[in-house]
Amino acid sequence: MIGRIIALAGVLAVGGCAWIGEQGSLNPGPRPLPNTYTFMQLEALSLINTHKTIGDHVIGWITGKDCSSPRAERGDAYCIDLPNRPPPPPQVYCYSTLARPTCYSQPYNEGNDRLIGFVPASTPIR
């Protein structure tokens, strides 16, 4: 949260409230519109980082699909369905034993075993 506030403060500080006019004095009026190179630079930045143009992002937000002009230029479909989120990893229950923890996919309720926590699904399960 603090990082976002610092980033916002930095953007506002860099943005400034006035621009330098033709005579070299500060002009507190509205800023002139950016030139066309600014929009081309934003388009290139979007294309380099996300492999999508800004228009692709807008169309994707409207349709709810993953749209990409470079993919269409390669001969693939312009818009594809977004992949589903992977299922959450299964609960893994780990108990302390003599040598190392033993993990099961279901709670183990026999003996004096003590539950020591949950671990990610990448741990081998017996």
- Look at residue 71 and tell me if it is in a domain: yes
- Look at residue 119 and tell me if it is in a domain: yes
Q: Please name the residues in contact with 81: beta carbons below 8 A apart, sequence gap of 6 or more.
A: 65, 66
Q: Which of 47, 48, 64, 68 is nearest to 56 (CA)?
A: 68
- Look at residue 75 and tell me if it is in a domain: yes
Structure confidence at residue 103 as a pLDDT band (50, 70, 90) = confident
Which pLDDT tens digit goes with each residue over 70-98? 999 999 999 999 888 777 777 777 777 77
- Look at residue 46 and tell me if it is in a domain: yes
Give residue 86's pLDDT: 72
- Look at residue 20 and tell me if it is in a domain: no
Q: Which of 49, 41, 96, 53 is nearest to 78 (CA)?
A: 53
Q: pTM of the full predicted structure?
A: 0.45
Q: Are residues 61 and 97 in the same domain?
A: no
Q: What is the dihedral of CA 34, 36, 38, 42, to 10 degrees?
A: 130
Round the CA-based radius of gyration of the chain to a whole number and report it.
27
The domain tally of the chain equals: 2
Range of the domain at 122: 85-126
DSSP 110: S
Q: Are residues 56 and 94 in the same domain?
A: no
Which pLDDT tens digit goes with each residue over 51-62? 999 999 999 999
Q: Are residues 94 and 109 in the same domain?
A: yes
- Look at residue 110 and tell me if it is in a domain: yes
